[in-house]
Structure 1
Amino acid sequence: MTKLDRHNKILKIIKEKDIENQEELVNELQKEGFIVTQATISRDIKELKLVKILSSDGKRYKYSTRDVNENITLDKFLSLLSKVIVDVDYSGNIIAIKTLSGAASSAAEAIDELNWSEIVGTIAGNNTIFVLVDKDDNVKEVIDRLKKIVDTQMGENIKKLS
């Protein structure tokens, strides 16, 4: 059996079962007729870019593909944004976001992870984030999209700086 066959089987196994460690994965592959060592599995895990995430019971960690983890991370970032944004102002192509004290850095990372093409970058302090938008014309669109994430918490707090 080829490396590709083994990689496909690994992906199938981790999708169907909570595999906590490399030894379990070796055993599962051997049950399927693959002759593998722990060293081979270690390389496969790196090549497949598998990550460990909390299992559904919340008591153990299991192997998962990165894309599943990215969805979980994105959900966490969206949840974070909805909880920490207090106020949003803008001037020109810069959006100033006020957050709860100490939350700006995490919120800026969450905004960066959104990968919105209009956002050039973010700078965070303790409770303030500056978001640089590529064009003045895109600022309102970015704010509207942030409003959808934050929903009612942002409400009437958006105003144009003088």
Structure 2
Amino acid sequence: MKIERHGKILEIIKMKDVETQEELAEELKKSGMDVTQATVSRDIKELKLIKVLSDKGTYKYAAIAPNENFLSNKLVNVFTHTVLNVENVQNMVVVKTISGSGSAAAEAIDSMDFMGIVGSIAGDNTIFILCINEEKAQELVRKLKKMLTVK
């Protein structure tokens, strides 16, 4: 559902000058997608949309350079195909990968710009991620596990 919605958002902003989140939510609803403004806000952040000046002199949403999105999608793909397990111990997240994939999976995680990460260390098949607190570590584990189930 999310992937379809993201695709539709990119299609809409390519075809139309969309100035606000509410306007984007309305366009998605016209396309048959039931969304809230909060969902659209998260989608904008995840897609890394920016506002640019339109020909009319107003600001509209636009996607960043396609090669950056392409690279980001490739890294997410690496993550989902190499990670075996994710768990947290206090404010630390431990990610187990297939042998030789720790660095690639860590790069993928770093590229996702999750909030609350202090730093990470990657080995051959294990990544240690230090979060600012236990709550952020649990939140990160939930998000990473969700990504693994969406394959």
TM-score band by shorter chain is 0.5 to 0.7
| In 2, Cα distance between equivalents of 1:119 and 1:70 | 22
1:104 aligned onto 2:105: no
Asked whether 1:73 is paired with 2:71, we answer yes
Q: How do 1:128-139 and structure 2 match up within 5 A?
A: 128-139=126-137
Q: Equivalents in 1 of 2:85, 2:146: separation in Å?
A: 14
- Structure 1, unmatched stretches of 5+, are 1-64, 154-162
Number of aligned residue pairs: 89
1:90 and 1:104 mapped to 2: Cα distance? 17
Structure 1 residue 141: deviation in Å? 1.1
1:12-27 residue pairs with structure 2 within 5 A?
Answer: none
* Amino acid paired to 2:84: V
Q: Which has the higher Rg, Structure 1 or Structure 2?
A: 1
Deviations 1:41-76 (A, max 9, x none): xxxxxxxxxxxxxxxxxxxxxxxx972111101111
The two structures, once aligned, show a CA RMSD in angstroms of 1.8
Under a length normalisation based on structure 2, what TM-score does the superposition of the two structures give? 0.55
Cα distance in 1 between the residues matched to 2:147 and 2:76: 6
Structure 2 residue ranges without an equivalent (≥5): 1-62
Instruction: Select 1:150's aligned residue among 134, 148, 151.
Output: 148
Q: Distance in 1 between matches of 2:64 and 2:142?
A: 29
CA displacement 1:64-96 (0-9 Å, x = unmatched): x97211110111111111111111222111011
Q: 1:128, CA displacement in angstroms? A: 0.3
Measured after TM superposition, the shift of residue 118 of structure 1 is 1.4
Aligned partners of 1:131 and 1:123: how far apart in 2?
7
Superposition TM-score, scaled by structure 1 size: 0.51
Q: Distance in 1 between matches of 2:124 and 2:135?
A: 28
Deviation at 1:152, TM superposition (A): 6.2
Matched residues in 2 for 1:152 and 1:70: separation? Answer: 22
Task: Give distance in 2, aligned partners of 1:148 and 1:67.
Answer: 27
**3-state secondary structure, aligned to 1:123:** strand
Q: In the TM superposition, what are the counterparts of 1:2-151 in structure 2 within 5 Å? A: 67-151=65-149
Instruction: Measure the CA separation in 2 of the matches of 1:94 and 1:141.
Output: 11
SS at match of 1:89: strand
Deviation at 1:138, TM superposition (A): 1.3
> 2: CA distance between counterparts of 1:91 and 1:144?
13
